[in-house]
Amino acid sequence: MTHQQAGQKNSGLIGFESAELELPDISRRKFALGAAAVVGLAALPNEAFASIPKFQAKPLAKPARFLAFDNLHTGETIKVTYWEKGQYIKGALSEINHILRDHRNNEVKRIDKALLDQLFVLHNKLGSRKAFQVISGYRSPKSNAMMHDRSRGVAKKSMHIEGRAIDIRLQDAALSNVHKAALAMNAGGVGYYPSSQFVHVDTGKVRHWGGA
Ligand SMILES: [Zn+2]
């Protein structure tokens, strides 16, 4: 099944469940191979911001890093400075972990700090003044397995299970621009789900699917 077919299949479903679908394992492998062939996985720098190449580090040089989230499932909203004076702020990270929890069973997972930095850079690149609307953050293995059983669109080994992936959109940026900006960062995985109106971003290998 191609990702386009997957998108069409998914678009027939209703509400957030349809928006949480992930790429099937088979397509993921196909695209992972494609991405590897195009960008060359060995080209990534192994430095301070390992998942974010040097040319992207500019926003990270700012004195503080903040993030705002709007969880569409729970209605919760936060805006926090999560990094300042050279270090991550524990309390802010806890707040982020909490709002990005598995809303089905309230299980909280530590979210990868590299993912937060990717989102901060993405937000800067887009010049957005809005909070990230969160369609899916952390997913417990149980929730993910349940979703996987219900739909071929949900990956069995989703990076959401590791707290290393998020599905987002922004109210003041076109989804296609969010997608382009995420791709241009060349950091981690990027999935494009226009029919469900979200972009998936993760801290895995550089790869992409669901778009041109
Ligand atoms: Zn996702």
Question: Which residues are within 5 Å of ligand 1 (an ion), measured at CB?
Answer: 165, 167, 200
pLDDT value at residue 57: 65
- At the top level of CATH, the class of 3-209 is alpha beta
CA of 98 to the centre of ligand 1 (A): 18
Q: How buried is residue 117: exposed, middle or buried, by Cβ count under 10 Å (0-12/13-18/19+)?
A: buried
- Cα 187 from Cα 205, distance rounded (Å): 8
CA of 112 to the centre of ligand 1 (A): 14
Q: How buried is residue 178: exposed, middle or buried, by Cβ count under 10 Å (0-12/13-18/19+)?
A: buried
Residues 6+ apart with CB under 8 A from 110: 93, 97, 163
pLDDT value at residue 10: 39
Question: Are 67 and 96 within 8 A, CB to CB?
Answer: yes
- The sign of the CA dihedral 167, 72, 197, 173 is negative
pLDDT value at residue 189: 96
Instruction: Please indicate whether residue 203 or residue 56 has the higher confidence score (pLDDT).
Output: 203
Q: Residue 147's pLDDT band (boundaries 50, 70, 90)?
A: confident
Q: What is the pLDDT of residues 39-81, one digit of tens each?
A: 433 333 433 444 445 445 688 888 899 999 999 999 999 999 9
Single-letter residue type at 169 = R
pLDDT value at residue 17: 37
pLDDT value at residue 45: 40
CA of 71 to the centre of ligand 1 (A): 14
Q: Residue 152's pLDDT band (boundaries 50, 70, 90)?
A: low
Q: What is the pLDDT of residues 102-129, one digit of tens each?
A: 999 999 999 999 999 999 999 999 999 9
CA of 154 to the centre of ligand 1 (A): 9
Q: Detail the DSSP E strand segments found in the chain.
A: 64-71, 77-84, 87-88, 132-136, 165-170, 189-193, 198-202, 207-209
The predicted model scores a pTM of: 0.74
CA of 6 to the centre of ligand 1 (A): 14
> In degrees rounded to 5, what are phi and psi of residue 50?
-55, -35
pLDDT value at residue 34: 42
- CA count, 13 A, side-chain hemisphere, 144: 22
Q: What is the mean pLDDT of the chain?
A: 80
Structure tokens at 27: 């397509």
pLDDT value at residue 212: 53
